[in-house]
Amino acid sequence: MILLTGGAGFIGSVLLKELNNIGREDIVVVDRLRDGVKWLNLRGLKFQEYILADELFDGDHDDVLSEITCIFHMGACSATTERDVDYLMKNNVVYSQNLFHIALNRDIPFIYASSAATYGAGEHGYCDNEKEISKLRPLNPYGWSKQLFDEWVLRQKEKPTKWFGVKFFNVYGPNEYHKADMRSLVHKAFGQINEIGMVKLFKSHKEGYEDGKQLRDFVYGPDVALAMIEMMKTSNVQASGIYNLGTGKARSFYDLMMATFDAMNVPAKVEFIDMPMSIRNQYQYFTEADMTKFFKLFPKFKFRSVEEGVGDYVKNYLLKEDPHY
């Protein structure tokens, strides 16, 4: 039986669907649904049990935990704007440590979400070499909380036989609809185009970058889910470690918007606006995952391009009556 935390969230629910697609329905979903639209991500998906995240370790679910054979830990506070650091420590570090100990004691695969936010301004590059992780300086408390757990895992003398920490880069795709300001620019642009027929992008305030030509490693959510399933399935336990999950190819925000206009079959119109001073000094102009380690382990894996991913997202989800995965 698989334990999937954050199973109602963006990446977690897409992962749940892909697990269903390979015949896995013996899944325990752990999350907090609250009163929003997040529950819609679970509608139509198959799982054995749902447990409120705050109740997982209260002792009432020890019988369930005793049957778990794999843990996907996608649950966390993922808001890069969160400033309650005690909350982040409780949710992103201590909670993760508890799950790690379960995986260790049962010696079952443990696959957890880290983040590219750990790389900070990218002054040390974007290589997932574990020997370099201690040098990273995240720019916000969220990234720092993920960095703390990565370093804590690496310090443990005993680890599960198979474990992977995955550093997500700029993930976009279906089931992100509940994320408010943390949604991808594709979904935000889709709304802008429908409302005003155009999109607004930040101007560049850095020499060498034209307006809209700031670069990110945009990766499609379903591809991320499929990559983690490959990690679950691999028999190469010596490959355990921390891995980047991007495409390895940085693309501009302008490229992302052109792909969105094209998929919507709408003439492109972009307005460039000043970047707020509050984020200007810490804004990243380039991120790109070094995927060398990943492709050494999974040489045949294919990530969709921006055009392919955005095209699928818009045409097969956003333009449909039910946009869920």
Catalytic residues: 142, 179
Q: Which residues of 62-83 are buried (b: 16+ CB within 10 A; e: fewer)?
A: eebbeebebbbbbbbbbbeebe
Q: What is the DSSP letter of 132?
A: G
Dist. CA 263–CA 309, nearest whole Å = 10
Question: Which of 91, 98, 103 is closest to 145 using CA atoms?
Answer: 91
Question: Which of 185, 243, 189, 251 is closest to 218 using CA atoms?
Answer: 251
Strand, coil or helix: what is 233?
A: helix
What does the chain come to in residues?
325
Q: What is the DSSP letter of 125?
A: -
Burial of 320 (0-12, 13-18, 19+ CB in 10 A): exposed
Phi, psi torsion values for 323, nearest 5 degrees: -85, 5
What angle is formed at CA 125 by the lines to CA 172 and CA 252, rounded to 5 degrees? 40
Question: Which of 286, 256, 309 is closest to 120 using CA atoms?
Answer: 286
- How far does the chain reach from its first CA to its final CA, in angstroms? 22
Dist. CA 256–CA 111, nearest whole Å = 29
Strand partners, 270: 199
Question: Which of 152, 303, 182, 304 is closest to 242 using CA atoms?
Answer: 152
